[in-house]
Amino acid sequence: MSLNNPTPVITRFAPSPTGSLHLGNARTALFSHLWARKTGGKFILRIEDTDAERSQARFRDQLMADMRWLGLDWDEGPDVGGPSAPYSQAERGEFYWGLFAQLTVRDFAYPCYCTAEDLELSRKLQRTSGKPPRYAGTCRGLTTAQRAERDGRGLKPTLRFAVPGDLTIEFTDAVHGPQRFSSNDIGDFIIRREDGTPAFFFCNAVDDSAMGVTQVLRGDDHLTNTPRQIMLLEALGMRCPAYGHVGLLVGEDGAPLSKRHGSASAHEFRERGFLSAAVLNHLFRLGHAGDVDGWLSAADMPAHFRPEHLGRAPARFEESQLMHWQKESLERMSAAEIRAWLAADDSMQFIELVRHNVVLPADAIPWRAVVQGELAPLGTEEQRVVAAAGPEFFAAAALAYEQSNADLKALTAILKERTGRKGADLFMPLRVALTGQVHGPELASLLKLMSPDTARRRLQLHAQNP
RNA sequence: GCUCCCUUCGUCUAGAGGCCUAGGACACGGCCCUCUCAAGGCCGGUACAUGGGUUCGAAUCCCAUAGGGAGCGCCA
């Protein structure tokens, strides 16, 4: 730690509360969090709720709950406060107004009276004539008198940023390396909506700067938007953070991760019973190569995070890999922790017995039925095993059970002598009769956990001719 | 259409001119262990998108091509 003393990096996660925590966002949040923790910096949570229509308090609360579940705690944010409060954009109006005024006074911004329909039409026209659909600059040259006239008619303008011409914007992306854009390819964009609320490009950039964020990490889809934000910040004389754009997260079919792929939000995985450690370990390796292959605890992750190994290519989310980390995480839990995770009032013996046969909570249900309930109808393979053993075998088994005091070792010894069977031929029919399944935990312990009545009944069931 | 990004095993990735007949992990197949599954051990197959350069030598550099993706929104 003391050998290489990294400069503390201040990162942030800036979700809009319009849905639950998307896995792709959870991953950039994780990377941002790890980067801050690795360098002893800060991790900030900012809620981008300028879209009043779609933003909801319940989404914000769930977002924060799911982040905490993942262990992505923040040093500054809406509920914990901090030097740059408030951390909800809906509450930062005054800050933005001042900036709008500054830009306007210095001719970096101008009111635009074009209607949404005008713009839609203009874009369509440009597209059909093979041109980039950019704002034509209609209102840029309006005189003061013309503006006054429109204001007089009660028109509500938006505010546009006047993009300077012939400017080359260069920056070094933390994951893509050097980037270079021409301002001539960028149209004047809206920074304040008709209703007076700030638009994303604006408040996002300005808040990152004002909150002291030094490293912005976000999805690849923002790469070409970055020059706008840099121009904006430069016009305002504000400090520019460094930007890094990670490849997107895609589903198993290569398309952007969505509900179609089963689960797309952290919350859904949580509800299905995945452990946060499993989700974390999986996300850690998606579009990122740490310096170890094995399972990492949340506490160990920052030390193994390598920002220089963040990926550019889209990463595919495969559930089979998540399953692996789920098993690994389970292996590292105590029986008591697993019991709490299953939340079903199981006995500790039961937990110890079935823990290696359970990956998701639902996997415990059949074993609970084996120990104290009714068996499901036999599958084809199970029926085959029962048929192959024959009723005499089970009659003998039922008898042996009475003489063995629920001890499998004693039971099989007797049975072995009487039937001449051994190995799988001996054990499998017993396993199937007793548990209804061809696979499962140690049979001897399973047998001890069931009531004598149950065991007796299950063995006798197959002692009759079919 | 314009601008930009991406492309190594099925998947996640290592690789920054010779250490690469391309390494690891997951998944898959086989064997061992074992009443079965899981775990564990051993073994195995499969990848540098294509085509041109540059070089004694290229997965690594350059140029094209192909295929994927993003942005160009009063969504973020």
Q: Which helix (H) or strand (E) holds A193?
A: none
Q: Is the CB of A193 under 7 A from strand B?
A: yes
* Strand nucleotide closest to residue A221 (CA to C1'): B70
The predicted structure's pLDDT at residue A3: 44
Q: Are strands A158-161 and A10-13 parallel, antiparallel or unpaired?
A: unpaired
Whether A33 shows a pLDDT value over 90: the answer reads yes
Tokens 């199970």 -> residue: A382
pLDDT tens digits, one per residue of A167-182? 999 999 999 999 999 9
Strand B proximal residues, A:362-421, Cβ < 7 Å: none
The encoded tokens of residue A131 equal 């041109």
Q: Is the CB of A90 under 7 A from strand B?
A: no
The predicted structure's pLDDT at residue A262: 66
The encoded tokens of residue A465 equal 């001719």
The predicted structure's pLDDT at residue A4: 54
Strand B proximal residues, A:257-286, Cβ < 7 Å: 285-286
Residue A79 neighbours by CB distance under 10 Å: 10
**CA neighbours within 13 Å on the CB side: how many for A184?**
4
CA of A136 to C1' of B62 (A): 38
Query: pTM of this prediction?
Result: 0.94
CA of A246 to C1' of B6 (A): 11
Tokens 């956990």 -> residue: A449
pLDDT tens digits, one per residue of A275-299? 999 999 999 999 999 999 899 999 9
* Strand nucleotide closest to residue A286 (CA to C1'): B12
pLDDT tens digits, one per residue of A211-264? 999 999 999 999 999 999 999 999 999 999 999 999 999 988 877 776 666 668
Instruction: Answer left, alpha or beta for residue A390, where phi above 0 means left and psi between -120 and 50 means alpha.
Output: left
Where does the pLDDT of residue A459 fall: very low under 50, low under 70, confident under 90, or very high at 90 and above? very high
ipTM of the complex: 0.94
Amino acid identity, position A251: G
* Strand nucleotide closest to residue A311 (CA to C1'): B13
The predicted structure's pLDDT at residue A52: 86
Q: Tell me the CA distances in angstroms from A106 to A191, A204, A233, A235, A354, one per residue in order.
A: 15, 21, 14, 9, 70
The predicted structure's pLDDT at residue A125: 86
The predicted structure's pLDDT at residue A259: 66
CA A249/CA A423 separation, integer angstroms? 49
Amino acid identity, position A27: R
Strand B proximal residues, A:282-311, Cβ < 7 Å: 285-289, 293, 309, 311
The predicted structure's pLDDT at residue A5: 63
Q: Is the CB of A99 under 7 A from strand B?
A: no
The predicted structure's pLDDT at residue A1: 40
Q: Is the CB of A199 under 7 A from strand B?
A: yes
Q: Which nucleotides of B are covered by protein (CB under 7 A)?
A: 1-8, 10-15, 24-27, 35-39, 68-76
Q: What is the dihedral of CA A383, A385, A390, A391, to 10 degrees?
A: -60
Strand B proximal residues, A:416-435, Cβ < 7 Å: 423-424, 426-428, 431
